[in-house]
Amino acid sequence: MKQNKYDDPGFFDNYSQMARSVGGLDAAGEWPTFRALLPTLREKNVLDLGCGFGWHCRYARAQQARSVVGVDLSEKMLARARENTSDPAIEYRQLAIEDIDFPAEAFDVVLSSLALHYVAHFDTVCRNVHHCLVPQGSFVFSVEHPIFTALAEQDWYYDELGERLHWPVDHYLDEGPRQARFLGHEVVKYHRIVATYLNTLIAAGFIINRLSEPKPTQEMLDRHPETRDETRRPMFLLIAAIKNGQ
Amino acid sequence: MKQNKYDDPGFFDNYSQMARSVGGLDAAGEWPTFRALLPTLREKNVLDLGCGFGWHCRYARAQQARSVVGVDLSEKMLARARENTSDPAIEYRQLAIEDIDFPAEAFDVVLSSLALHYVAHFDTVCRNVHHCLVPQGSFVFSVEHPIFTALAEQDWYYDELGERLHWPVDHYLDEGPRQARFLGHEVVKYHRIVATYLNTLIAAGFIINRLSEPKPTQEMLDRHPETRDETRRPMFLLIAAIKNGQ
């Protein structure tokens, strides 16, 4: 059974209260960076892996995508996504990301936001995405950064006064599951190093187009000085890859 | 003036006593990984940026490279390299890495071992390497890992008993010079994030072929249990890229 934490009622309630769950893409600090990595979506067939509440699906349609399929394992997430969507060109399917089985070359763009660090078999995902993309199609995704996932605690190291001293890294080169806490619940996240994300993509037939380890803009730092801590360690890793071939 | 720390007599003496300076490539933990990233060198024209004592130059010739040019800014390093080399097909030139100015398509392979984190302008290096490589030529290099260069101290965080608690990361997203200590001397290293290494290569016209964040082999861990700490944080980042084009 694939991990389906989002159908746990307590976890779902907590997730629903997160800024990004209420405010959508504009409340997600990494969204401007993610958006900049996307190709033009106009007239494109788009697949969203781990679509959650459907924010990215609706965004794609607002950019005049031809069709969008959103995939998520959680019934509760999809119920909310359907509730908030009135657009026959968006289809939601309940499915684990590892289990997608779309026809060859069905999509021009596959995107995934902060879902793939929950998936045990990234190589399977890469092969399946490659299969269902057209040649030169785009695969754009964000994950929690390996610096962020290395230690299960996912927290700063504090001094005795509670000040953040630095971000602790340990077990970085030991890849695999981490019993992390997120929103007050135990969740399994999969720690993979940067090299594994890239080499797995390349082995599946992708060309690396661009990476990002986003940091707050100067405007954000001026308006919200507390975001300064977000420059001390990367929280997210974003990768844009292209399916090799004519 | 480019940084020329290796002509500082005290620093040079300390460097000369490092295991890798005495024992050569086999004494460098990351060498098996570096070697595996190299293409076949037989009949190739090879350039080594920051060649130091010339170990990689001589290795290339032992692999039947046609010709090798080793570039280094340090007169002392090159004097030692020349002393240890009796091979007319290896040429050493005293030059800063940023200042290379070879003819177009002069080399099949450009390599660089642990030198580019001393260079301020990685984009210049990438453009110059691209210029002097044949199409489909290889650029393979190692640098200190961004997790390792983020904090100038480059050291573990210890508890009061002197035990290594974890590796501290801070200022990761603030790229630029770091006044680091190495071999008891002040040295300027340039901290760049993983995304910058890759995006700069891609912008210069390279395709990313493979990355490595090496860790000790199981055999090494069995023979030298103290190398276990090397799995706790990556010390090196290795990248193999190919010049795009026919």
Report ipTM for this prediction: 0.95
Mean pLDDT across chain A:
94
Amino acid B186: pLDDT? 87
Q: Collapse the DSSP code of B23 into the 3-class scheme (helix H, G, I; strand E, B; otherwise coil) and give the result.
A: helix
A167 contacts B165? CB cut-off 8 A: no
- Range B209-221 average pLDDT: 91
For chain B, the 3-state helix, strand and coil shares in percent, each to the nearest 5, are 35, 30, 35
Candidates B19, B30, B9, B34; CA nearest to B109 is: B34
Which member of B165, B211, B230 has the closest CB to residue A198?
Answer: B211
Q: Are A110 and A139 in contact (CB under 8 A)?
A: yes
What is the DSSP annotation of chain A? ----GGGSHHHHHHHHTSHHHHHGGGG-TTHHHHHHHS---TT-EEEEET-TTSHHHHHHHHTT-SEEEEEES-HHHHHHHHHT---TTEEEEE--GGG--PPTT-EEEEEEES-GGG-S-HHHHHHHHHHHEEEEEEEEEEEE-HHHHSSTT---EE-TTS-EEEEEE-STT--EEEEEEETTEEEEEEE--HHHHHHHHHHHTEEEEEEE-----HHHHHH-GGGGGGGTS--EEEEEEEE---
Q: Rounded CA gap, B114 and B156, in Å? A: 20
Q: Please report, in angstroms and rounded to a whole number, the separation of the first and last CA atoms in chain B.
A: 37
Pick the residue of A160, A192, A198 with the most B CBs within 10 A to test the interface with B by mutation: A198
| Residues of chain A positioned with their CB less than 8 A from the CB of B165 | 168
State the residue for tokens 């608690």: B165
A173 contacts B215? CB cut-off 8 A: yes
Amino acid B73: pLDDT? 95
- Range A13-38 average pLDDT: 89
How many angstroms away from the CA of A132 is the closest CA of chain B? 23
Amino acid B32: pLDDT? 92
- Range A74-102 average pLDDT: 96
| Predicted confidence (pLDDT) per residue in B101-115, tens digit | 999 999 999 999 999
Q: Which amino acid is it at A76?
A: K
Amino acid A28: pLDDT? 84
Q: Are A147 and A233 in contact (CB under 8 A)?
A: yes
| Predicted confidence (pLDDT) per residue in B123-176, tens digit | 999 999 999 999 999 999 999 999 999 999 999 999 999 999 999 999 999 999
State the residue for tokens 């030991």: A174
Q: Is the pLDDT of residue B227 over 80?
A: yes
Amino acid A226: pLDDT? 85
How many angstroms away from the CA of B177 is the closest CA of chain A? 16
Q: Collapse the DSSP code of B165 into the 3-class scheme (helix H, G, I; strand E, B; otherwise coil) and give the result.
A: strand
Which member of A194, A199, A233 has the closest CB to residue B169?
Answer: A233
Amino acid A1: pLDDT? 55
Q: A19 has which bridge partners?
A: none
Amino acid A182: pLDDT? 82
Q: Which amino acid is it at B131?
A: H
The lowest-confidence range among A65-74, B91-100, B177-186 is: B177-186
* Element spanning B49, H or E: strand B45-49
| Predicted confidence (pLDDT) per residue in A155-164, tens digit | 999 999 999 9
Domain B5-243, what fold?
Rossmann fold (3.40.50)
Work out the pLDDT band at B74, boundaries 50, 70, 90.
Answer: very high
Tokens of B217: 């082999």
Q: Is the pLDDT of residue A6 over 90?
A: no
B215 contacts A170? CB cut-off 8 A: no
A170 contacts B166? CB cut-off 8 A: yes
| Residues of chain A positioned with their CB less than 8 A from the CB of B152 | none
How many angstroms away from the CA of B150 is the closest CA of chain A? 9
- Pairs across A and B, CB distance < 8 A: 106
How many angstroms away from the CA of A60 is the closest CA of chain B? 25
How many angstroms away from the CA of A157 is the closest CA of chain B? 9
Amino acid B1: pLDDT? 55
Give, in order, the Cα–Cα distances in Å from A53 to each of A22, A48, A76, A209, B127.
10, 11, 9, 28, 44
> Higher-confidence residue: A105 or A26?
A105
Q: Rounded CA gap, A44 and A46, in Å? A: 6
Q: Collapse the DSSP code of B71 into the 3-class scheme (helix H, G, I; strand E, B; otherwise coil) and give the result.
A: strand
> Higher-confidence residue: B105 or A27?
B105
DSSP state of B31: H
Amino acid B5: pLDDT? 86
CB atoms within 10 A of CB B153: 12
Closest chain B residue to the Cα of A202, Cα to Cα: B209
**What are the residue boundaries of the structural domains of chain A, listed by start?**
5-243
Closest chain A residue to the Cα of B169, Cα to Cα: A167
The order of strands in the sheet holding A107-113 is A90-94, A67-72, A45-49, A107-113, A133-144, A236-243, A206-212
Tokens of B30: 């990351």
Tell whether the torsion through CA atoms of A75, A79, A81 and A86 is positive or negative: positive
Q: Rounded CA gap, B120 and B1, in Å? A: 11
Which member of A169, A195, A207 has the closest CB to residue B166?
Answer: A169
> CA-CA-CA-CA torsion for A90, A96, A99, A101, nearest 10 degrees?
0
Q: Is the pLDDT of residue A15 over 90?
A: no
Work out the pLDDT band at A221, boundaries 50, 70, 90.
Answer: confident
B168 contacts A169? CB cut-off 8 A: yes
- Range B174-191 average pLDDT: 91
**Phi, psi (degrees; rounded to nearest 5) at A202:** -60, -45
B231 contacts A171? CB cut-off 8 A: yes
Amino acid B46: pLDDT? 98
Q: Is the pLDDT of residue B91 over 70?
A: yes
- Per-residue exposure over A167-187, b if at least 16 CB sit within 10 Å of its own CB, e if not: bbbbbbbebeebebeebeeeb
Give, in order, the Cα–Cα distances in Å from B108 to each of A76, B51, B137, B192, B245.
56, 17, 5, 27, 13
Q: Is the pLDDT of residue B209 over 80?
A: yes
- Range B177-205 average pLDDT: 94
> CA-CA-CA-CA torsion for A21, A93, A179, A166, nearest 10 degrees?
-40
Amino acid B230: pLDDT? 93
How many angstroms away from the CA of A67 is the closest CA of chain B? 31
| Residues of chain B positioned with their CB less than 8 A from the CB of A193 | 213, 234
Amino acid B19: pLDDT? 84
Q: Is the pLDDT of residue A54 over 70?
A: yes
A199 contacts B210? CB cut-off 8 A: yes
How many angstroms away from the CA of A23 is the closest CA of chain B? 26
- Range B182-194 average pLDDT: 91
Amino acid A175: pLDDT? 97
Amino acid A83: pLDDT? 96
| Predicted confidence (pLDDT) per residue in A102-145, tens digit | 999 999 999 999 999 999 999 999 999 999 999 999 999 999 99
B211 contacts A194? CB cut-off 8 A: yes
A194 contacts B213? CB cut-off 8 A: yes
Pick the residue of A167, A215, A227, A243 with the most B CBs within 10 A to test the interface with B by mutation: A167
Q: Are B43 and B74 in contact (CB under 8 A)?
A: no
pTM of the predicted model as reported, rounded to 2 decimal places: 0.95
